[in-house]
Structure 1
Amino acid sequence: MEPEMLDRLAIRALVENWAVWRDAGDWDRFATCWHADGYMMATWCQAPAAEFIAASKAGWAKGVSILHFLGGHSADVAGTRAIAQTKMTISQRAEVHGVLVDVVCTGRFYDFLEKREGRWGVVLRQPIYEKDRMDPVDPAARLALDPALLARFPEGYRHLAYLQTQIGYAVKTDMPGLKGPAVEALYARGGAWLAGGPHG
């Protein structure tokens, strides 16, 4: 098999392992998905990989329920660097104003990856948040959201952010969505990364 195809298979396996091991609470193996200088940009946590893992473990212990599902995948590979985009959904369950709800957010994982000493790892993961929705787990339940709080967040993840604020997280309010300056800047950073520059 050609070396580039082997790299592409390794990258896809890395992305899938990230989701499976993180959601299963398999923290030791989850840590192997990252390089030592890896960084995570999530709505609720922007931190070096080690701190993100610690925060995820703490949330897991408190009953925070966040799951990831993966879809289509594309990777641009340039030598020992790559940008991978993977369709995903983030599903989170929690109480909002006393009503148990599920939020499903659809988007892409946009990953800055590098092969070091023969191993691909995540250097930076920046999700792109495209659209989301919130539904009561009990379809007969009635839920009224605060429109002012909902409007504080970008359209692509406003319901996810709303839920996360209700359980105590400070949510970043300028993450990239499907369109606009933030995602265009991200694409430019991805191009620079493939050309040998910093990820920004």
Structure 2
Amino acid sequence: MDRALQDLIDKQAIREVVLTYCRGIDRLDFDLVRSAYHPDAIDHHTGFDGNIDEYIAWVTPKLSAIGGTMHHIGNHLVELHGDHAISEAYSMSTHWGGPEGIGMINFTSGARFIDHMERRNGRWAIKERWAVREWTRSDEGRFVNPEGPGPRGRRDASDPLTTLRSSLE
């Protein structure tokens, strides 16, 4: 295959790893989150350093206690180095809802996901991630109720995406 075409295919596969992680985190689908990492991967987040299983054990109760999150990926640059790659994806993530006393809630952060990606057996996944927090702002008192009835995001099997996917299987 032409090298330029293979590079595009590899870069798209790497971008999809990052987006898979975001969908998994936002939907509380931790199997999906896990699928973005190699089994021996390491993750570095604010307040956490460890392997993927430890990361999921750490983040699950934090995210399950709040109303929701939404991760947006912006600039995303991928540098290919054979079966290794550097992926730098800018992210803005909003966290909302939750009871008092669980720590900071209702905030938006700007961050970069700096990932050492590795291709193993033809599959790209995260080998090591640094979630580099650039800034955080409090959104306390800024959230408002929906203006009317309509589709709402859910973090369970009743989410519109899950419902659509089920109807097509």
TM-score (norm 2): 0.71
The change in CA–CA distance for 1:136 and 1:101 in structure 2 (over 3 A counts) is farther
Cα pair distance change 1:62/1:102, threshold 3 Å: closer
Paired residue secondary structure (1:6): helix
1:138 Cα shift?
4.9
Provide the rounded CA distance (Å) in 2 between the counterparts of 1:133 and 1:61. 21
Cα deviation, 1:3-51, whole Å, max 9, x if unaligned, reads: 1111001001111111011211112222111101111111132220011
Q: What residue identity is the alignment partner of 1:112? A: H
Identity rate of aligned residues, in percent? 23
Distance in structure 1 (CA, Å) of the matches to 2:124 and 2:21 = 12
**C-alpha contact 1:38 1:48 (8 A) present in aligned 2:** yes
Question: Which stretches in structure 1 are left out of the alignment for 5+ residues?
Answer: 140-200
- Spell out the pairing of 1:20-59 with structure 2 (5 A cutoff): 20-59=23-62
Aligned to 1:125: 129
C-alpha displacement of 1:107? 2.1
Is 2:77–2:87's contact at 8 Å kept on the other side of the alignment? yes
CA contact (8 A) 1:101 1:137 kept: no
The corresponding residue for 1:134 is 138
Cα gap change, 1:23/1:38 in structure 2, threshold over 3 Å: closer, same or farther?
same
- Aligned pairs for 1:143-182 (under 5 A) are none
Letter of the 1:72 counterpart: N
Secondary structure class of the residue paired with 1:137: coil
Residue 117 (structure 1) shift? 0.6
1:115 matched to which residue of 2? 119
Q: Secondary structure at the match of 2:28?
A: coil
Q: Structure 2 vs 1, CA of residues 101 and 130 (structure 1 numbering), >3 Å: closer, same or farther?
A: same
Q: Runs of 4+ in structure 1 displaced over 6 angstroms?
A: none
Q: Distance in 2 between matches of 1:101 and 1:49?
A: 24
| 1:129 to partner: Cα distance | 2.0
Shift of 1:101: 5.4
Secondary structure at 1:136 match in 2: coil
CA distance in 1, matches of 2:118, 2:86: 9
**What displacement does 1:75 show?**
0.4
TM-score normalized by the length of structure 1? 0.61
Within 2, Cα distance between the matches of 1:63 and 1:70? 21
> Does residue 17 of structure 1 match 2:20?
yes
C-alpha separation between the residues in 1 aligned to 2:59 and 2:21? Answer: 13
The C-alpha deviation readout for 1:89-132, integer Å capped at 9, x for no partner, is: 122235678xx952111121111110001100101110222222
2:107 to 95, 98, 103: 103
Q: Distance in 2 between matches of 1:125 and 1:104?
A: 20
Q: How far apart are residue 61 of structure 1 and its match?
A: 3.8
Distance 1:29 1:101, change over 3 A: closer
Q: Which amino acid in 2 is paired with 1:29?
A: L
CA RMSD of aligned residues (A): 2.5
Q: 1:135 to 1:57 in 2, by over 3 A?
A: closer
Q: Which runs of 5+ in 2 are unaligned?
A: 144-169
